Structure formats: structure tokens, C-alpha cells
A and B are shown apart, each in its own frame.
Chain A
């Protein structure tokens, strides 16, 4: 089993030689890196470096032309969105992608959809509601209430998320991802557009999730302070290529990274 040998024992996901293009535009060029179980892995890089595209490849929204993805020992050319979700990859989005017409509670409940019993939530029982469906609803409501308590958003439980301020929406979105009990959590700029206090809260949640649930986290972030404090290892992308990979200290002193961020004088 070459695939199993190639993976280090604690690696949960690795991407190998991924290339993704849209027509003539190469968004990602030959990028490889891995994510180890239980770590916080940061993906950084200037705008347009291909960070979000990378996350989209990991959870199957974009299909790379070349390369392969190993997730929990299984090798794939590409992921499919529901496969990724069923395999325990949850995610938040750069621009909040909540279901705006639904309440906080319902939004987080949607995160449980894959954990719900198929038969109990199927058409016929659901039409009667009382009985199997209600039992299932209450069971999952209990878990969702734990998430709500953890994120300290009890007060907005019944508020439609469209009416919430941005910072809270980000928190609800994290809640929706957490409700899925993911093994790998992808966070796309979880702190973008937040003030200092909100950032601190969010950092605390990220660390707590990692500590308490042992969830592996891959995050994209522009705030270098946050990245250096939170992450165990950092991968740096620039113009779709990997230019550095290592601990925050290594990356901070890497000449390529400094050039990419500050520009090079020719």
C-alpha cells in the first residue's frame, strides 16, 4: 500500500501537485502540502494567491485538472462536495454564506443534516412530524444548543440571521460548521472585517475548538499577528505557487515570503 506508506501516521489530509485553471488562468500551480491531525494549519499569501481556490479544491467545489487529494488514507483525483461533507470536512466562507432567511437556530441545525437519521427525517415521517421526526429533531436540537452555548449566542437563537451584525454572522457560521462535528474545519478568513474585541473572541473560539474537540483546523487569514499566535504550521502561497511551508518562525524569516509581501526591488 504505497498510499498508506506515503502518509505520515498523523496526517489527515494531503494535497499533491494540485493544478487548477480556469480557461487560460492558472489559479493554482503544482501545490502540495499536508495537514496533520489535531493541528492548526494556516494558509497565507497575498490577494489572488489562490488560497480560497485551494479550500474549494479541498472540499470539492472546484475540480483540479492535475494532482491528487488524500483524505484519511483514501486517494482521489478530486473531491465531491457531499463526499467532503460526509467525510467530516466543514467550512466557513470568506463572505458569510449563511442562509439569510432562516433563524440562527435553523442555520445551525442545517449543520446537523448529515448526522440525522435518514429514515426518521424522510418524507412520510416528516409529514406526520410527531413521532420519529420530532424525536430526531429534539436529539439534534440538544447538540445544537451546546454549540450555541459554546459560542455564547443564546440571545439571538430565534433571530433571522439576515438581521444580525457581521461579527455575529461569522460566529453563527462557525456554529453551523461546528454542528457537523467535523474532523477537519476549513476557515476562510474568519476574522476579516472584525474589530479587535471580536477578533479576540474568534481566536478564543478557534483555540477552544481545537483544544476541546481536537478538531483539525485549516485557516486562511490576513492578520499576521493572529496567524503567528494561533497556528502550528503555515503554508504560504503566492501567484498560485507554494513559496514556503513550516512553523510560523521559519516562515516569518523566509526571504521568499518577505519578498512576496513587501515586493522585490529589481
Chain B
């Protein structure tokens, strides 16, 4: 039982249940299955993005450019659809996933081949990607009436009880779970983050592994770009501005260590759901949506403080005084 309570995922599940229960005490409608499914659906995009960010953070890197990548891919998807409404939607999705992965690979190459610190690279590409949207469109919006019906309908289309959007996130979770736990690449993500020197000696190319993590996060950002634009039926320069913080917050809450090497798919999903429940509960319990930014900030700080406490016990203390800083 004590071991069970130390498990981060179970603690998070309990925290989410407690949160939902507290809201349900005053607003029983919130726990109706249909509403919970809506909350999950609303969180789907965040989950997809958090999965990519998790892979990057596991390798001791960070991707601040995900939201900008999403916006650029979403805009390109909308532009393709507006210019050639006949192009089948799966092809559009494939194109933007490839574009997202290509943009992510730019981050990856700069980190791999030039050894530039990841935070600097992605801070730079964050502004470059957003600026590129402006260059593409001259600041113009693409509105609902310029998009084809099929483009807008796909995420909403019901499939065995749930919208396609929810199903896509479930597929992404399953795919990343298999990648993380059943493939050499997934093990390499953990190895590189846990101890890069040891990873080199076991024959893992640290730079290449990081590159692959950035390609993954980029590809998922591309997918999320299409989903975002088709769901909200509008594309402009500033969509998802600042969303990179929510993605990192979801990962940190989910127990993914910013120092690399520690984390799980379950953690990323639960961290996203925790934020998703809060976001959907705010209007219900009558708190201004303006409070959301401050709440995410507070939750990030609390989560990182909790993470630091649980991680401290790891490893053997050789020099007691040096460790007691």
C-alpha cells in the first residue's frame, strides 16, 4: 500500500478524482459521463502535444517551439484546404505531420550537429516559426467559410460513441506508449536523459536520439496543428500563443523530470488531464477565465517542487557535505 502511494501515476489519478469530486459536490452535472467525455475531448490536443514534449524532456532537452510549430502547421493545413478544397483530408493531415516533423528536425539538427543549448534553439525557432506564418499570410486570417466542410467535420465526426479527435489522441497515446516501452528508440530516450555519458558507452548516439525526439514532437505538433485549426475553424498568426507553457506544465505535473531520464506516458496523459479538468471546471465554478494563466503557473511551481523532493532520494550519496547544498 505504501509503495502504491509513492507511485506518481496513482497519486495523480487520486488527485484528479478528488478534484472532480470536489467540483461534483456543488455541480453534479460535471461528473455526468457525457460531460467527462467532453472534458477528455477538449484535452485531447494537449495530450498529443504533451506526449511529444515528454520525449524531448526525457532526453534532457526542451521544446519551447511546439505551439509555434502547431500554429504554422495549422495555418498551412488551412491554406492548402482553402486553395485546393478537393485535396482529401487524410492527405492534408499527412502533409502537415511531415511539415511539423521537418520543422522539429531543424531544432533537432541544431541541437545535434551544433551542440547549441536546446532552450536557445527553441526560443529562437519559436519566434521564427511565428514570423513565418506572418510572412505566409501577411497577417490575414483564414476563416470558417474558406474551409471545406469535410476539413471542419473530421475532428467532430462520431465514431463508436466518441469524436474522432478523442480517438486520435487515444491512438497517439498507444503509439507513443509502444514506442517508449517496446522499441530501442524508446529505451534510448530514457538512457540519454538518465546518463548521457553511459549512453555513449553503450553505443547510443546521444545527438541522434535527441534529433529523433525533436522529430517526434514536431510531427505531433503538426497533427495538433490540423486538429486545432479544424476544431476552432479559424487560423491566424497568434493561435495557441503561449500554449507551450501549458504543454510543459502538463509534463511537469505528470512527474516528467526536467533534468531528463524520468517520466512515463501515463504521467504525461494524467498531467494533461489534470490541467484539462481545471480549465473546464473554471467556468463551472464561476472563476474568471483570466485566472487560468496564474493557476497554471502556480501548478507548475508546486509540481516541480514536489518532483524535486521525490527525485532527491535517487542515487547514492558519496560526499555527504557536497550533496547537502
A and B pair up: no
The residues of B with any CB-CB pair to A shorter than 8 Å are none
